[in-house]
Structure 1
């Protein structure tokens, strides 16, 4: 009679979360992936977790030596003391003539000797957890699919009957897509490594199959770090409790901008700042973060396009001391390199940043500057909208107002293009434009969409001078500003006055 199956941890809390609580005990599982995807590391984490719980573990190595495994463990800062390691062949005698004769006898004998030695070691140690690395050796010895399947079925019955949880590693060296073990295993986790044209390669995993258990499907990014595998789950899988998100208006601290927006932005909504480079999008978004920090709340800025030093200096010129707010713990500025971060990693960064911290104000503003940089971290841009939709929903549950900055290609005229259309995702869309008037290049701003309330539909001039962000009167005497080809029929004196030294002189 088999013992009652209980949940067994993989040794990785995030993987347990994706698997819906861990592994069902007394079963066999398949962990497959090409060489270098982290199979051995995950297998070691699984066994070391068992040792910490007082459960004996066995690592059956059919391809790597014990010294190689010890070196892998040392690279992660682990000690394998107490963990049994069984090697297929003693490397000290692998080149002897007698040893060669034994290894290259007919495959039927080799397969039998290999499995017999492995099973004898399991019977001797009676472990609760076993990792077999890798099945490609058994597949080669079996030589045909029928013998291989029968061998795996026999191993399954053996391990299950011993109240043992086993993970089989497979390196996908078979020329065809071998599904023999996938049909036999209780659960299958697949690891993948995706090369990119620039920057770090992308590692990801997904659960292909798990009998009798509800798991989180889809690809989850991960990275191999010192100390093990760090997984960045899809943000839609987050199990953080949804706090009582307030529904309030968040003011910018600038009366003219707040009037344009209908007295501010609603908490838990998303705002798209759209316009050409240098028109004032980032500065206006930073103004909301600065004001939130002064109210005793917290704000987070993810800067893809400019350095932290440049952001702080530019904001200081407009009267916003971001350096002090950061020193006080009210503001977090994360400089993100698109070539070094995957979408999953970025989502985890956002998730960690907005989690409530005891004794500190809640995060009310998150700025992603810009969406162009975020797009650069996506290997396939057609998934950007889905990723962003999950992220915005997550932040909305926390009552966080999100500002998405998008730089359009081009500066003037009708040739400007938007790299990605995220306007349907945003609750509010603020459009920025350049226009020419009285021999100057000027800026204009308008709110073209706001789902959660009223807003002005006028187009107003925007100017940044004397440490202030100024919004002028509606540009009633202009036509075609938003189209990029304005026509002026009024008096230039009705425009905002210049605030520089030239005007004063």
Structure 2
């Protein structure tokens, strides 16, 4: 019977809230976290009750402080009510991010004069009933004194302990909601989920206007990763699903999940030249803008060198390019480029080329997506190289649906007219080769395949195009040479059989092959 009455009260309060709310007049309270505001489509509707939940160490306090700091920067009055942490602990959190929290009003309940003496045990009322009532009164009195527009309660587990009875705990929260709603105060309730056996409080979820859940996961190797999810937000078409976030000096950074279908920039799908006529002929004039090309082959066959050829030519045209290195060091890459005759440092100095060394043990898929998106939108990048896809996937082994996430990135880049080159090595060096678990059609519009083949006791390289979704392409197999003269494509290997298997059968003369190598570059 009591539970039924509580449900009725919740329903009545929710109905009153719906009747009193006018979407056209509701103000939006920014959280102070750019990525989180993007997920929330601007921020939190002001004057409502919100729940921020998560296990200890997930970043709740940092998010709460940033929420109040944003209010202060907008000239609002704010209040941080701490029921567990001391002022010194909160100030130390601020110092770690370079924040001065002295201007933020802080009500430390542990220091408040609640006067919980032993003689109350002789009262008719239980001592915990008096404690909770006086705690709520102290809070409401402080609110009346400061008159804030934003309030944070950190955390609810202490209120549960004071209430002891779940029914009384919910009733007090209902009273608080009514009190703050009448004053148009935006309230953020912080819950560490320790007072409810680690489970989500469904009654609390129904009471709040919105619920944000933070999660922290410790990996088998590398740093911990964090992600958040908006469980509910009434009246807002937020971005659902999980979003990666990190805590760095300066606060929380949220990497909103990318939905490629929301982005499209009109462009002309013109061919992009490599600077080598024979290579462009293989692709019927060159790669098209807004397409993804997969360069695949065994290690040392020249995949990265072909990508560098396209990057150098793009920079010569005055375009901007970026290379994301998951495998190779930047210094080694620049040395390799010099041997090919490319001085990439001049383009780096001119801010035309960015080479990003990706830390496999620290980066998350969401962070990588946001880095790519930022490069395109803020730096007007026209060509992107990912070296390599295998490095990207192996750097985050405990993440799920990585191929789906990289497909979303590539779809976004294609709609922005960016030329994307994905380097991916194949298993083994010679003989039959395969790319385990990779759906080529799902990832790439065009595929450049490289192979080793043997002739007269020497290892040579072959190149062919096995797919070009953007147009026609040669179906021939040609020799590839990479040396001090640069990258060269030879004649069709029409006197060979079985080149792609790595074990060719030669039936002609050596006239069709390039001259014997002297200083070939791997």
**TM-score in terms of structure 2 length:** 0.89
Counting only pairs closer than 5 Å after superposition, residues 326-337 of structure 1 correspond to structure 2 as 326-337=348-359
The C-alpha deviation readout for 1:167-202, integer Å capped at 9, x for no partner, is: 000112121332221111101111111111111211
Answering whether residue 67 of structure 2 is matched by residue 46 of structure 1, we say yes
Q: Quick check: 2:454–2:503 contact (8 Å CA) kept in 1?
A: no
* Higher mean C-alpha displacement, 192-201 vs 480-489: 480-489
Secondary structure, aligned partner of 1:355: helix
Secondary structure, aligned partner of 1:424: helix
CA distance in 2 between counterparts of 1:202 and 1:26 reads 32
Secondary structure, aligned partner of 2:443: coil
Instruction: Name the CA shift for 1:204/1:273 in 2 (closer, same or farther; >3 Å).
Output: same
CA distance in 2 between counterparts of 1:122 and 1:298 reads 54
CA distance in 1 between counterparts of 2:250 and 2:40 reads 21
Answering whether residue 509 of structure 2 is matched by residue 491 of structure 1, we say yes
Instruction: Name the CA shift for 1:346/1:499 in 2 (closer, same or farther; >3 Å).
Output: same
Q: Which residue of 2 aligns with 1:285?
A: 307
Answering whether residue 341 of structure 2 is matched by residue 294 of structure 1, we say no
Q: Which residue of 1 aligns with 2:141?
A: 120
* Higher mean C-alpha displacement, 411-420 vs 8-17: 411-420
Instruction: Name the CA shift for 1:119/1:142 in 2 (closer, same or farther; >3 Å).
Output: same
Q: Which residue of 1 aligns with 2:462?
A: 444
Root-mean-square deviation (CA, aligned residues, Å) is 2.6
Q: Which residue of 2 aligns with 1:211?
A: 234
Q: Quick check: 1:385–1:422 contact (8 Å CA) kept in 2?
A: no
Instruction: Name the CA shift for 1:99/1:39 in 2 (closer, same or farther; >3 Å).
Output: farther
Give the Å deviation of 1:248: 0.9
Counting only pairs closer than 5 Å after superposition, residues 100-115 of structure 1 correspond to structure 2 as 106-115=127-136
Q: Which residue of 1 aligns with 2:185?
A: 164
Answering whether residue 518 of structure 2 is matched by residue 500 of structure 1, we say yes
CA distance in 1 between counterparts of 2:128 and 2:117 reads 18
CA distance in 1 between counterparts of 2:205 and 2:470 reads 49
CA distance in 2 between counterparts of 1:463 and 1:100 reads 91
Secondary structure, aligned partner of 1:432: strand
Answering whether residue 250 of structure 2 is matched by residue 232 of structure 1, we say no
Q: Which residue of 2 aligns with 1:365?
A: 383
The C-alpha deviation readout for 1:13-66, integer Å capped at 9, x for no partner, is: 221111011111110101111111111111111111111222111101011011
Secondary structure, aligned partner of 1:395: helix
CA distance in 1 between counterparts of 2:72 and 2:493 reads 72
Give the Å deviation of 1:145: 3.1
CA distance in 1 between counterparts of 2:222 and 2:390 reads 16
The C-alpha deviation readout for 1:56-92, integer Å capped at 9, x for no partner, is: 1110101101111111112222222332211222289
Q: Quick check: 2:34–2:254 contact (8 Å CA) kept in 1?
A: no
Instruction: Name the CA shift for 1:309/1:482 in 2 (closer, same or farther; >3 Å).
Output: same
Give the Å deviation of 1:321: 1.0
Q: Show structure 1 runs of 5+ residues with no match.
A: none
* Higher mean C-alpha displacement, 310-319 vs 345-354: 345-354
Q: Which residue of 2 aligns with 1:399?
A: 417
CA distance in 2 between counterparts of 1:151 and 1:82 reads 29
Q: Which residue of 2 aligns with 1:426?
A: 444
Answering whether residue 288 of structure 2 is matched by residue 270 of structure 1, we say no
Give the Å deviation of 1:415: 5.2
Instruction: Name the CA shift for 1:163/1:99 in 2 (closer, same or farther; >3 Å).
Output: farther
Q: Quick check: 1:7–1:25 contact (8 Å CA) kept in 2?
A: yes
Answering whether residue 189 of structure 2 is matched by residue 193 of structure 1, we say no
Answering whether residue 80 of structure 2 is matched by residue 59 of structure 1, we say yes
Q: Quick check: 1:2–1:161 contact (8 Å CA) kept in 2?
A: no
Q: Quick check: 1:59–1:132 contact (8 Å CA) kept in 2?
A: yes
Give the Å deviation of 1:146: 2.5
Q: Quick check: 1:10–1:49 contact (8 Å CA) kept in 2?
A: yes
Answering whether residue 199 of structure 2 is matched by residue 181 of structure 1, we say no
2:97 to 47, 51, 76: 76
Instruction: Name the CA shift for 1:169/1:146 in 2 (closer, same or farther; >3 Å).
Output: same
2:109 to 73, 83, 88: 88
Secondary structure, aligned partner of 1:10: coil
2:282 to 235, 241, 260: 260
Instruction: Name the CA shift for 1:349/1:25 in 2 (closer, same or farther; >3 Å).
Output: same
CA distance in 1 between counterparts of 2:233 and 2:119 reads 41
Q: Which residue of 2 aligns with 1:459?
A: 477
Answering whether residue 242 of structure 2 is matched by residue 245 of structure 1, we say no
CA distance in 2 between counterparts of 1:476 and 1:188 reads 66
CA distance in 1 between counterparts of 2:440 and 2:169 reads 51
CA distance in 2 between counterparts of 1:8 and 1:340 reads 32
Q: Which residue of 2 aligns with 1:339?
A: 361
Give the Å deviation of 1:478: 2.3
Q: Quick check: 2:83–2:158 contact (8 Å CA) kept in 1?
A: yes
CA distance in 1 between counterparts of 2:512 and 2:356 reads 41
Q: Which residue of 2 aligns with 1:348?
A: 370
Secondary structure, aligned partner of 2:290: coil
Q: Which residue of 2 aligns with 1:315?
A: 337
Secondary structure, aligned partner of 2:244: strand
